[in-house]
Amino acid sequence: MSIATKTGDKGQTSLVGGQRVSKSDPRVETYGTLDELGSVMGFARSICKNEKVAQATKAIQKDLFTVSASLASPEDDKKTNRVTQEMVGSLTKQVEEIEAIEGILGDWVLPGEDTVSAAYDVARTVCRRAERAAVRLDESGGGVDPLAVTYINRLSDLLWLFGRLVEKDAGVDATLRDGEGKGGRWSKAW
């Protein structure tokens, strides 16, 4: 057995179920972006010293395989595992737990003040790109599982919060604004 199957040498790949499509197909772009997200999250996890955040990240990386499979198959494919309300609920619960920590929500941030939080900020931006790709796929008639889009949206919120939590743990202030305007819950632009 070899990883080089050579079946994609002409720019085609198989979706779940065996249908051959171009590697530029919007469905391939969508689940490919989730693959990229899982790798970026793996990097963030590999340098994260907060064990709870690292373990949560690993669990989400595993869930991304289900999200990807859901997006790699037509909506009417009943054999593919789908995103569940429980998966979305788990992310929502984590968002609420972190938001309840004093000082987490305060202002926009300038990514890069801390290596680990910067890695989570990169993951968040890749996640947002995956969300845009999923919405484009759905709007083009691709038939996307609505819970997959909800999951990706909630995940981007959680990744932002992971970045803020590791900054707080490190004693780093990455807030964007100094002085007046700082300290309110959110800027009007939020």
Tens digit of each residue's pLDDT (9 = 90 or more) over 16-36:
666 666 666 778 888 899 999
Residue 158 pLDDT greater than 80, yes or no: yes
- Kindly indicate the confidence band of residue 187, based on its pLDDT and cuts at 50, 70 and 90: very low
Choices 3.40.50.1820, 1.20.1200.10, 3.40.190.10, 1.10.3720.10: CATH for 24-170: 1.20.1200.10
Nearest to 126 by CA among 70, 59, 189, 42: 42
Instruction: Work out the angle at residue 135's Cα, subtended by the Cα atoms of residues 37 and 21, and round it to the nearest 5 degrees.
Output: 75
Residue 26 vs residue 187, higher pLDDT: 26
Q: Evaluate if residue 76 carries a pLDDT over 80.
A: no
What are the domain boundaries of the chain? 24-170
Q: What CA–CA distance (Å, rounded) separates 89 from 58?
A: 17
Q: Which residues are CB-contacts of 59 (< 8 A; sequence separation ≥ 6)?
A: none
The answer to whether residue 189 scores a pLDDT higher than 50 is: no
pTM for this predicted structure: 0.85
Q: Write a three-state SS string for the chain.
A: CCCCCCCCCCCEEECCCCCEEECCCHHHHHHHHHHHHHHHHHHHHHHCCCHHHHHHHHHHHHHHHHHHHHHCCCCCCCCCCCCCHHHHHHHHHHHHHHHCCCCCCCCCECCCCCHHHHHHHHHHHHHHHHHHHHHHHHHCCCCCCHHHHHHHHHHHHHHHHHHHHHHHHHCCCCECCCCCCCCCCCCCCC
What is the residue-averaged pLDDT of the chain? Answer: 85
Quick one: pLDDT at residue 54?
A: 98
